[in-house]
Amino acid sequence: MIATELAPGDVLDGFCVVSRMYAGGMAVIYEVVHEALPGPAVMKVPRLGQGESSAGIVGFEVEQMMLEALAGGPVPMLYAFSDIEREPYLVMEKIEGRALSAEVSRAPWPVEEVLQTGAAIADALAALHEMGAIHLDLKPSNVMMRPQGGVVLIDFGLARHAHLPDLLAEAFQRPMGSAPYIAPEQVLGIRTDLRSDLFALGVMLYEFSTGVLPFGWPQSTSGMRKRLKTAPHPPRALRADLPPALQEIILHCLEVYPARRYANARQIAFDLRHLDQVSVTELGLNTRRVSLSARVRDWIRGSGFEPSQIDAAELVEDHAPIILVVVALGEGDDRQQQALQRDVERVARLTPEARLAFVAVTREPPVLGTSDEATSAPREHIRLLVELRHWASGVQASAARVTHQILEDNDPGEAILNYARTNRVSHILIGAPTESGRRHLSAHVGKVVLAAPCSVTVVRG
Amino acid sequence: MRYGLIADIHSNIEAFEAVLAHAQGQGVARLLLLGDLIGYGADPQAVLERCMQLVETQQAVAILGNHDALACGRAPCEMNEDAQMAIDWTRGQLKPRHTQFLLRLPLSYREEHMFCVHASAVEPESWTYVSTGHDAEACLSAAQADWVFSGHVHDPTLYYSGRDEHMFAFRPTENIPVPVPNHRSWLAIVGSCGQPRDRQVGARYAVFDSIQQKLTFFRVPYDHHAAAEKIRAAGLPSRLALYLEGKA
């Protein structure tokens, strides 16, 4: 019995084949059942016949190693694997739901769908990166959407883990990955930068938004290298109604030099969820292709393009945290407010890559609104936002990005916690409860400290 | 079965005892002592007594390192000045039974698909440093084993074959098990138990699980102040104390 030629009803090591789901160049995938498994499963068998490339079997080993190491992450659960020398196969959780490749044909998608799907992929990438892994072959066919929401990443044959040896290393690295999606540094054979995945996400966002691949589908390495020198057409040139903020995000992901991209996937998820907070530059407004800046061009030609290597320890360290600053507008004494401002400065100085999110919480407006125009909800919202911006302008910080937001919620503690969870905030700075303790925010500091998903600094003046 | 892989103890009894206790907690059933039991440090007698007891009770197998060979007068070997001073001092500390024990140690040891050697399997007694992928290839092809465990180089490194048959060096992360399946060949330099050279304190060693085929590298805290003070008190070169304190 040849493992790549199983038919429904065949049994291999107790796994009974239900159907042949997919037969590709590198592997065959069956749906299988086994009484000991909690649910439907798939069996992946690599093609190892004569003339098959050795990359196939190494990629298969890499996938097994990665799925084992990433258990609990945004990946299919690994149920079983075999002795690779006898009959190599992997058995893993069957993901109910569809691969995004099935949805790409109807692109351009509505903007809202691009934002939601993009943010869900960015969440999964953030989780993956935080576990110390880089996918390096991100594309729509490797992204599965669960019916109940959430993204599962599949096919880890080219992936890299900071704490495990790179079995795909070779003396002269060739580009590995899918031509339309891989980052410029991958074209040059570099497999150590998690921002390569952010570039691939940018390509997907571009594709979802316009229905077009930003760098086409090059068939050769020299074709792939074009992305080192030529910027893509701005998506708004292909779709006039695309919000400039979304173009800003996409082109920020597609920067040639990794250090000029977003620092991590969390920031992309944040921006996709808060389009109104993205500060739009020329990048987002352009509708004509611009040549890459002379500086980048010279640097590519001159120095041979050397993006920073990220070593194991660095890969998992959070270089670009989101710091949430909770501002109690109209509360607390001046000393405390100033102490909070100084502490924000201190934290921002220590982590210059950080994003500072200034947030104030106000009560929800009455459902029926108010007849008094001066205190109507939108006006009140704007007034608070102006006040918050004014407060934040008192902070001397060169943070990479600053956002301001008014949360409307009758339970300020819960609102802050929700914000921290959804945006994966890594540090909350909040003023200590003031003496009166009756004020809107003061009473909720304890709850924030107890239930926060991250560190909380309570600042006292 | 779980094997504790311990190299380059270098007369550091505090580090050695800490590693033995840690290994017990890891369920280690057998110890492979990969040479350089003595030299550099201030406790050659205590370390050798412990090694002899472990070997006699068949809890451990020990092999010879270059410092051991020189101390017992078995073979000449080039050493730097500090090392030579320490060896001269060490010789004066050894009792006949210690010298006898060292003289009987093998240069390498093979068990099932594992091969242990202090430096390189290529002419073990020439004490070649394995510091590149090329060296590792030569060592593995001489050893003819799935797993080669060694020391001599004090920083832990795992050599493995990549996609094109070249060997690559991987700097392991502490406490993270690395799958080392035997359809590939692996060369693990487990790191020095008794004399770190990476400006970090702590005793290095590794645990190999032969059933799961996984290798985990550890760095165990121990009373390095005491070990360093003993080196100073014995009048040994102060650099040897600074290594233990992470200052050299």
Is the fold of A99-316 the same as that of A322-365+374-459? no
Listed by start position, the domains of chain A span 3-93, 99-316, 322-365+374-459
**Who has greater pLDDT, A412 or A303?**
A412
Residue A398: what pLDDT?
Answer: 67
The model's confidence at residue A296, banded by pLDDT at 50, 70 and 90, is low
Q: What is the pLDDT of residues A29-47, one digit of tens each?
A: 999 999 999 888 999 998 8
Q: Is the pLDDT of residue A387 over 60?
A: yes
> Domain A322-365+374-459, what fold?
Rossmann fold (3.40.50)
Residue A200: what pLDDT?
Answer: 98
Q: What's the CATH code, domain A3-93?
A: 3.30.200.20
| B129-139 b/e (C-beta count within 10 Å ≥ 16 → b) | ebeebebbbbb
- CA dist., res. B195 & res. B65, Å (int): 14
The model's confidence at residue A292, banded by pLDDT at 50, 70 and 90, is low
Q: Is the pLDDT of residue A302 over 70?
A: no
Cα→Cα distances A237→A136, A214, A226, A278, A431, Å: 28, 12, 20, 20, 46
Q: Model ipTM? A: 0.84
- CA dist., res. B15 & res. B194, Å (int): 6
Residue range B2-244 forms a domain whose CATH class is: alpha beta
Contact in structure between A174 and A189 (CB atoms under 8 Å): yes
Q: Is the pLDDT of residue A310 over 60?
A: no
Q: Is the pLDDT of residue B240 over 50?
A: yes
- For residue B163, the chain A residues in CB contact (below 8 A) are 54-55, 58, 167-170
Interface contacts (A, B; CB < 8 Å)? 46
Q: What is the pLDDT of residues A172-231, one digit of tens each?
A: 667 788 999 999 988 888 888 999 999 999 999 999 999 999 999 888 878 888 888 888
Residue A312: what pLDDT?
Answer: 42
Shortest Cα–Cα distance, A221 to chain B (Å): 19
Q: What is the pLDDT of residues B128-186, one digit of tens each?
A: 999 999 999 999 999 999 999 999 999 999 999 877 778 889 999 999 999 999 888 99
Q: Is the bond preceding residue A108 a cis peptide, omega within 30 degrees?
A: yes
Q: What is the pLDDT of residues A336-386, one digit of tens each?
A: 888 999 999 888 888 877 888 999 988 776 655 444 544 566 677 788 888
Residue type, B194: G
Q: Select A99-316's CATH number: 1.50.10.20, 1.10.510.10, 3.40.710.10, 3.30.420.10.
A: 1.10.510.10
B200 touches chain A (CB under 8 A): no
Any residues with CB less than 8 A from the CB of B13 and at least 6 apart, and which? B41, B43, B46, B47, B50, B227
Residue A160: what pLDDT?
Answer: 93
Q: Is the pLDDT of residue B206 over 80?
A: yes
- Token representation of residue A186: 């991958």
Query: A167, B162: Cβ pair inside 8 Å?
Result: yes
Residue type, B29: A
Average pLDDT on B208-219 reads 97
Q: What is the pLDDT of residues B10-43, one digit of tens each?
A: 999 999 999 999 999 999 999 999 999 999 999 9
Across the interface, of B163, B171, B173, the residue whose CB is closest to A168 is B163
- CA dist., res. A262 & res. A249, Å (int): 9
Query: Number of H helices and number of E strands within chain A?
Result: 16, 16
- CA dist., res. B157 & res. B81, Å (int): 26
Q: Which of A391, A392, A369, A394 is nearest to A379 (CA)?
A: A369
- For residue A58, the chain B residues in CB contact (below 8 A) are 163
Q: Which residue has the tokens 């330099």?
A: B189
**Chain centre to alpha carbon of residue B209:** 18
A315 touches chain B (CB under 8 A): no
Give just the sign of the alpha carbon dihedral A410, A413, A417, A423: positive
- CA dist., res. B23 & res. B209, Å (int): 12
Q: Is the pLDDT of residue B103 over 70?
A: yes
The model's confidence at residue A169, banded by pLDDT at 50, 70 and 90, is confident
Contact in structure between A219 and A175 (CB atoms under 8 Å): no
To the nearest whole percent, how much of chain B has pLDDT over 70? 100
- For residue A164, the chain B residues in CB contact (below 8 A) are 170, 176, 178-179
- For residue B166, the chain A residues in CB contact (below 8 A) are 169-171
Residue A375: what pLDDT?
Answer: 54
- CA dist., res. A298 & res. A437, Å (int): 59
* Predicted TM-score of the model (pTM): 0.79
Give the chain B residue nearest A164 (alpha carbons): B178
